[in-house]
Structure 1
Amino acid sequence: METQGYEVRKFAGPTKRYCQILNLKDDQDLIEAYRRIHSQENAWPEIRAGIREVGILEMEIYISGNQLCMIVETPADFDWETAMSRLATLPRQAEWEDYVARFQQCAEHASSGEKWKMMERMFYLYE
């Protein structure tokens, strides 16, 4: 586990952040396989390209046990619903969602929006 923190990319213009959660099936072999398919070497190139194509600047997934937290950085004018609707139509996206569902605590053939639950920000260091 990283205790020194993680560097954050800087972007040319204003951005906003979305945070989502999802639980994996509580099976260590499945969790390790899920980690592998998300590695730089094994991630599907069409999925990474699609994420960028809809305007996402950065996406990170953090894990603790079987709990995941996804952080998505976008331009300030990004529209989540429009982008996710478009992403769902891009090459191999539906195939990817069906493939990763076997690792996730979700209904069969659930969309990404049905699997990943948006988190509400409840605190920040107010100015």
Structure 2
Amino acid sequence: MQPNQGYKTREYAVPVKRYCQTLSLKNNSELIAEYRKIHSRENAWPEIREGIRSVGILEMEIYISGSQLFMIVETPLDFDWDSAMERLAHLPRQAEWEDCVARFQECAPGSTSSQKWKLMERMFYLYD
């Protein structure tokens, strides 16, 4: 799908809340292409996808523009971000995954996902 045509979103039977985050990649087209590849459905580690769901995350989307990533995470209203990220950091292969993807990211070695991704502040919305 072309970005100017929009992206379909999932509907849930319960109200959800959304977290928006950003992260910078190293500005290297070969590294960015490899980063995109390892995040594809075919190449993403199943343990990572399972872990994300197991901590209560309903949906996670990552968008890219140049070397800048933007992630949207949708969760139930009672989701506690800090405790979920603490649990996620200790799930099987999570630390290994973070080390693997760190070579593409502008981050300190050994950083957890919650240390790499920066939560964004919502400054505008259209709905009531």
Q: What TM-score range do you get, normalising by the shorter chain?
A: over 0.9
Q: What letter corresponds to residue 124 of structure 2 in structure 1?
A: F
2:109 counterpart SS class: coil
1:33-112 equivalence runs, <5 A: 33-112=34-113
Q: CA RMSD in A?
A: 0.7
Q: What letter corresponds to residue 64 of structure 1 in structure 2?
A: S
Q: What is aligned with 1:5?
A: 6
1:3 counterpart SS class: helix
**Runs of 4 or more consecutive aligned structure 1 residues displaced over 3 Å after TM superposition:** none
Unaligned runs of 5+ in 1: none
Unaligned runs of 5+ in 2: none
Q: What letter corresponds to residue 78 of structure 2 in structure 1?
A: D
Q: Offset at 1:114? A: 1.3
Cα distance in 1 between the residues matched to 2:73 and 2:15:
14
Q: Offset at 1:126? A: 4.4
Cα distance in 1 between the residues matched to 2:13 and 2:85:
23
Number of residue equivalences: 127
TM-score by length of 1: 0.98
Cα distance in 2 between the residues matched to 1:90 and 1:19:
22
Identity %: 70
Q: Deviations over 1:48-72 (max 9, x none)?
A: 0000000000000000000000000
Q: Offset at 1:2? A: 1.6
